[in-house]
Structure 1
Amino acid sequence: MRAQVTNRKPRVVLEGYSFLECPRWRDGRLWLSDFYTNQVLTTDGRGGAETVAEVPQQPSGLGFLPDGRALVVSMRDHRLLVRDEEGRLSEHADLSGAVTGFLNDMLVDERGRAYVGNFGFDLMGGEPLRYTTLTRVDPDGTVTTAAEDLGFPNGMVLLPGGVLVVAETFAGRLTAFDVADDGTLHGRRVWAQFGETPQTQDIGEAVAQLEVAPDGICADAEGSIWVADALHNRVLRVREGGEIQEEIPAGTGVFACMLGGDEGRTLYMCAAPSFPEHERRPVREAQLLAVDVDVPHGGLP
């Protein structure tokens, strides 16, 4: 299953942040969340950055409504916020009654429906691993459980034809659903499996067993998915069925990725030496890396 390691060399675009996550390319700029400075940033990819929102309860997933307003996950208070044209934030939906852990990554589809993951347990506090749900928030703010029994649902992509693929970090797999016209999910199946799924609730044991820990993901125009492997300092280009087509070493931890740039062929990577909060919060070692690839962006986000 191991691909030929590429000779592509990532370059540094931004540095000096706490823990960058959830990159989204829109209208010539990359949007990012920086967890422990509570900022949402944008950059043109040429070295400059602007803070466009402050989220006191920690920003994570990002997306956009059909009218262009940004949706921002507020992790710790289980809320989904909307940013208006003046940059002000207000509540779009309260997910506290539907989730069992901090909110996480998010995908917003072309109709403005948001699919939001959550940790399911206190990862940073050392609780036993517990599987959890994926939540759908409709444009009117209605909150519905979309899927259950997911092993730390993380990054997501929506492929052409209405296939939602979810990264299950602690299950070591990508899982696909067909999206019905009303937003409900059907036809659950494994899109790519990376080794055996750990059969343990002990985080340390699970981490040791995972061959790939899929975190943030993005899709390209050939229907392949780029996967940030949160445990092995790399991104992988994966075809449905699990074939790894390319591996790009980053030289540091990589926790999310996004295709963007003028031609959609710049693969941006959110990088840091590790992911535990107690290691990342007090320092500013996170970087945004970039590398040029052959196949441009496809699907959503």
Structure 2
Amino acid sequence: MVDTTVLRDGLRFGEAPRHGPDGRLFYSDFYAHEVRALDLDTGAEEIVCTVPEQPSGSGWLPDGRLLVVSMKDRTVRRLEGGALVLHADLGGIATFHANDMLVDGAGRAYVGNFGFDLHSAIAAGGEAPMLEPGWVAPGTPLALVQPDGTVSKAADDLKFPNGMGFLPSREGEPRTLIVAETLAFGLTAFDVAADGTLSNRRVWASLREHFIAPDGIATDDEGGVWVAPALQPSVFRVREGGEITHKVETSQNCFAVALIGRRLVCCTAPSSQPEVVSVDRLGKLEVFDL
């Protein structure tokens, strides 16, 4: 039984939903090459910018300027006066298409990448080989982009670093960053230093037994992580150690999630394969009231 209601359909492939500083839902549509903003109360929507090399993650600098990942040329772009300009070149770090991004309050951005040509591998041999416990995905770095566009490695050897989120901070303890390692079937935690550098890497939740290849994630105020499982028409809420506390069923596979107030927004599609979703408008935004 589907728990969600359809907020908007006719997308190609929706990704990276974000709660914008103006209260609207911002999201990318990969194969329409657009970043859009949607008012959840009125339904009014606008195209914020067009990204020829395919948009993914987005976020904002402290002064409100939008940052967006340009996937195929492995860059982060900045919206200046209605035009996208180069903010950071990830070519020295990203080993394939750049993907999701998390921007902190200081304007530092963490950016993941595919690590290899996943879509071609699936087209050639299907998903089954990647689901075998003995299969190991190629490792790739996570990039850290400073507010001035300087790029460095934040961490190395991640298995398709994807959605990210910060857990609620506890007084006297370092901030915790959660990274979804899609092809490691788990959530990985890091301590975050004041300058944004990462340390103390550890497994936060192993999810292979639940057939969850975590794609997009959203953290909540209670320290839970809402996970889009990519291979299932559901969203799961996970606690540290892997306990699942909630399951929300969607109409098709869920690839990304956001918490907008007490609403869970889900980006869904029948597949992530370009030959399927770049042609037909099968993607949806679905919503569930928590």
Is the pair's TM-score, using the shorter chain for normalization, greater than 0.5? Answer: yes
Residue-by-residue CA offset, 1:86-105 (whole Å, 9 max, x unaligned):
32211101111211100000
Partner of 1:248: 248
Equivalent of residue 77 in structure 1, options 73, 79, 82: 73
Matched AA of 2:75: R
Equivalent of residue 57 in structure 2, options 55, 61, 70: 61
Structure 2 CA distance for aligned equivalents of residues 133 and 273 of structure 1? 29
Scaled by the length of structure 1, the TM-score of the pair is 0.87
Structure 1 CA distance for aligned equivalents of residues 275 and 138 of structure 2? 21
Partner of 1:18: 12
Q: Which runs of 4+ in 1 moved over 6 A?
A: none
Residue-by-residue CA offset, 1:115-148 (whole Å, 9 max, x unaligned):
0000010111228941211000001111101101
Equivalent of residue 83 in structure 2, options 85, 88, 106: 88
Identical aligned pairs, as a percentage?
A: 52
Matches within 5 A, 1:14-163: 14-26=8-20, 27-45=22-40, 46-84=42-80, 86-126=81-121, 129-161=137-169, 162-163=175-176
Matched AA of 1:245: T
Secondary structure in 1 matching 2:73: coil
Structure 2 CA distance for aligned equivalents of residues 232 and 271 of structure 1? 10
Structure 2 CA distance for aligned equivalents of residues 89 and 272 of structure 1? 28
Structure 2 CA distance for aligned equivalents of residues 110 and 28 of structure 1? 16
Give the superposed CA RMSD. Answer: 1.4
Partner of 2:202: 189
Aligned length: 270
Structure 2 CA distance for aligned equivalents of residues 124 and 227 of structure 1? 21
Deviation at 1:8, TM superposition (A): 7.4
Residue-by-residue CA offset, 1:147-181 (whole Å, 9 max, x unaligned):
01111100000123311000001101000000011
Assess if the C-alpha contact under 8 Å between 2:168 and 2:222 holds in 1. Answer: no
Deviation at 1:279, TM superposition (A): 0.7
The reply to whether residue 177 of structure 1 matches residue 190 of structure 2 is: yes
Equivalent of residue 167 in structure 1, options 177, 180, 185: 180
Matched AA of 2:9: E
Equivalent of residue 270 in structure 1, options 260, 267, 272: 267
Structure 2 CA distance for aligned equivalents of residues 222 and 56 of structure 1? 38
Scaled by the length of structure 2, the TM-score of the pair is 0.90
Equivalent of residue 287 in structure 1, options 268, 284, 287: 284
Matched AA of 2:145: V
Matched AA of 1:276: Q
